[in-house]
Amino acid sequence: MVKTASPPLPPFGLLVERHGAELHAYARRLVDGDADDVLQDALLKALRAYPRLEHGRHLRAWLFRVVTTCAIDHVNRRRRRREVVVDAVPEVPEPPPSDGATFDGLLDGIPEGARRALVLRYVHDLPYSQVAARLGCSPEAARQRVSMAVRSLRERLR
C-alpha cells in the first residue's frame, strides 16, 4: 500500500478542545442566543462527516464552514416557522432539508475587501498578519474587514 503524506485525522475531541471556544464565539456572533444549539448541531454534523474526510488539512476552516452552514439552516428554519405563523397557510409543504444556501452564495454582496478578508481568515485559515499581507493593508485593517464581513453576514442571517 502506498502511504500518502496526508496528515491523519486527529481525534475529534482535540479539535473541539483547540477550536471549541472560538467556534462558539463565532456562532454567538451569527445567531446570538441560539449559539449553543447551532454549535451543537454543527459539531454533530461535522462528527457524522468526519471519518469520510480524506485528510486532516484545514480542519479549522472546515469547522467554521460547518458552523456557518448550520447558522444559515437555523435562521432559515426560524424564518419559515415565522412565516407559517404569520401567513397561517394550512398546506405548508414539508421544507426541504436545505434550501441551497451555501457559504459562497451567502458571501455574494459583501463588499469585496471584506469578503476576501473573511475568506482568507476563515476558509484559508490564515492569521491576521498574513491576511493583511495578502490584502496589502495593516493587520488592524484586516481585522476590521473580517469583523465587517461577519457583521454583514449576521445582518443577512437575521
Partner 1 sequence: MTLDMRMLERLADAAARGGLADAFYDTVDTTVGPLLVVVTGRGVCRIAFASEDAEAALAPVARLVGPRILRSRRHIEPAAGALSSYLAGERSELRLPVDLTLVRSPFQAEVLAALTAVPRGSVTTYGELARRIGHPGAARAVGTALGRNPVPIVVPCHRVLPSTGGLGGYGGGTERKRLLLELEGVRVS
Lookup result for grid cell 449559539: 35
CA distance linking residue 143 with residue 146, whole number of Å: 5
Q: Is 40 in the site for partner 1 (CB under 8 A)?
A: yes
Q: Is 32 in the site for partner 1 (CB under 8 A)?
A: no
Residues 1-30 that bind partner 1 (CB under 8 A): 8-14, 16-18, 20-22, 24
Is residue 39 at the binding interface for partner 1, with CB under 8 A as the rule? yes
Nearest approach in angstroms of CB 135 to partner 1 is 27
Is residue 48 involved in binding partner 1 (CB under 8 A)? Answer: yes
Nearer to partner 1, 53 or 101 (CB): 53
One-letter amino acid at 111 equals P
Phi, psi of 137 (to 5 degrees): -135, 180
Rg for the chain, CA atoms, rounded: 18
- Cell numbers found for residue 62: 472546515
Of 40-48, 82-90, 106-114, 148-156, the segment contacting partner 1 by CB under 8 A is: 40-48
d(CA 106, CA 132): 23
Which residue among 28, 29, 34, 50 contacts partner 1 (CB under 8 A)? 50
